[in-house]
Amino acid sequence: MRKTVLITGAAGFLGSHLCDRMVREGFFVIGMDNLSTGSLSNIDHLFNSGSFEFSSYDVTKFVHIPGKLDYILHFASPASPIDYLKIPIQTLKVGALGTHNLLGLAKEKKSRILVASTSEVYGDPLVHPQPEEYWGNVNPIGPRGVYDEAKRFMESITMAYHNYHHLNTGIARIFNTYGPRMRANDGRAIPAFMSQAIKNENLTLFGNGKQTRSFCYIDDLIEGIFRLLMTDYHLPMNIGNPQEIPLLQLAEEIIQLTQSDSKIVYLSLPEDDPKQRCPDINKAKNILGWEPKVDRKDGLLKTITYFNEILK
C-alpha cells in the first residue's frame, strides 16, 4: 500500500517541487495551501496524476486529514521580506499556530513530521560558517523578527513535541535556494536581479555588495530534504550550498549570463540584513551522504530560462 504525505505550502516555490518529488517517489500527496503567496500554476500539472489532491486551506486553523498519514512536510510560510513585511502577523501565526496544529495532527496519525526552518534563525551571524550548534544573533523586534522568531518558535515547539510526546520529528534549516517557480517580484536577490537584467533595467544592489550569500539550486535542496525525511534524525540540520559569493559578484554573473545591458545601482542596506550567510553542512554530509551537485552557472542558466518564459 503506497504511503501518504501531507505537504503544506504546496503551491509555493519549495512546496511545489516537493510535491513533484514525492509523486515521483510513489507517494500519494495531499497538497495544502491558502494561496497567500503560492500559485496553483506551480502544481497544475499534478492534478491529473492520480497521485495528488489539493486542499485550499489555512493551517493556522485546526487541520484534519481523514485516513492514514505517513509523513507531513510543513513548508507553509511567507519566505521573502517583501511578503513577511506585508503580512507580519500571518507570518507569525503560520510559524506558531500552524506548526502547533500540524504537530497535533502528526501526533494523532503517528506520522513523521519535517518542518521547514531557515538559516534566518542565525540572524546576522557572529559565527561563520554557521553550524547547527550556533544559537544565532537575532533582533526579535526588528522588521525581520516576525519571520526569524516564527521559525525559532517553530523549532522550539517541534523539539518540545519530540521530547514530551516522543513524536518523530525533523527540522531542516534551509539556506538560500533558487530555481524555476520563484516569483519574479518576491524581492529576493536572484529573481530581482534576473527580472531586472532580462528587462535591461538597472540592477538594484543593497549596501556595497560585499555581503555574502550561499545559493543552493532547487534540485539539490529537494534531494537533501527527501533524504532527511527518510531518516529518524530529529535535531536541526543545515541544508544549503556552502559555496559563498558576494552579492556584487552574483549581480555581475547574472548580467553576463543574460547578456544584458543593465548597470548596477546601489541602495541603502535594509535594517538587520545579514552580512554573511554560509552553511556548515558537515552533518548533512555525514548523516545523509548529501551535498550540492549543481554548478552555480548551470543552475542560474536554468533559472534564467524560466524567467525568460514568464516575463515574455
Which residues contact residue 272 at a Cβ distance below 8 angstroms, ignoring those fewer than 6 apart? Answer: 123, 124, 139, 142, 143, 144, 145
Entry pTM? 0.96
**88 and 220, same domain (yes or no):** yes
Q: What are the distances in angstroms from CA 95 to CA 6, 88, 111, 122, 213? A: 17, 11, 19, 16, 24
**28 and 174, same domain (yes or no):** yes
pLDDT at 271 over 80: no
pLDDT of residue 275: 85
Position 56 in a domain: yes
pLDDT at 81 over 90: no
Q: 277: part of which helix (H) or strand (E)?
A: none
Position 121 in a domain: yes
**261 and 289, same domain (yes or no):** no
**236 and 125, same domain (yes or no):** yes
Q: Is residue 256 very low, low, confident or very high in pLDDT (cuts 50, 70, 90)?
A: very high
**46 and 193, same domain (yes or no):** no
pLDDT tens per residue across span 136-194? 999 999 989 999 999 999 999 999 999 999 999 999 999 999 999 999 988 899 999 99
pLDDT at 214 over 90: yes
Q: Is residue 312 very low, low, confident or very high in pLDDT (cuts 50, 70, 90)?
A: confident
Which range of residues forms the domain containing residue 53?
A: 4-179+216-242+278-293
**144 and 204, same domain (yes or no):** no
**97 and 198, same domain (yes or no):** no
Mean pLDDT of 124-143: 94
Position 260 in a domain: yes
What percent of the chain has a predicted confidence (pLDDT) above 90? 91
Given the residues 71, 84, 122, 147, the one annotated as active site: 147
Position 13 in a domain: yes
**92 and 165, same domain (yes or no):** yes
Position 59 in a domain: yes
Number of structural domains, the chain?
Answer: 2
Position 282 in a domain: yes
pLDDT at 273 over 80: no
84: annotated active-site residue: no
What percent of the chain has a predicted confidence (pLDDT) above 70? 100
**144 and 227, same domain (yes or no):** yes
**82 and 163, same domain (yes or no):** yes
pLDDT of residue 152: 98
Mean pLDDT of 282-300: 98
| Residue entry with cell 518523530 | 168
Mean pLDDT of 44-57: 97
Position 184 in a domain: no
Convert 21-53 to b/e letters by CB count within 10 Å (16 or more is b): bbbeeebbbbbbbbebbbeeebbeebeeeebbe
Q: What are the distances in angstroms from CA 39 to CA 34, 36, 109, 230? A: 9, 8, 28, 27
Position 101 in a domain: yes
**63 and 162, same domain (yes or no):** yes
Mean pLDDT of 288-304: 98
Query: Which CATH number covers residue 199?
Result: 3.90.25.10
Mean pLDDT score of the chain, rounded to an integer? Answer: 96
Query: Which CATH number covers residue 99?
Result: 3.40.50.720
Q: How far apart are CA 106 and CA 112, in angstroms?
A: 7
Strand 244-246 to 212-214 pairing: antiparallel
**149 and 85, same domain (yes or no):** yes
Which residues contact residue 187 at a Cβ distance below 8 angstroms, ignoring those fewer than 6 apart? Answer: 80, 81, 82, 83
Nearest in space to 189 (alpha carbons), one of 123, 115, 131, 264: 264
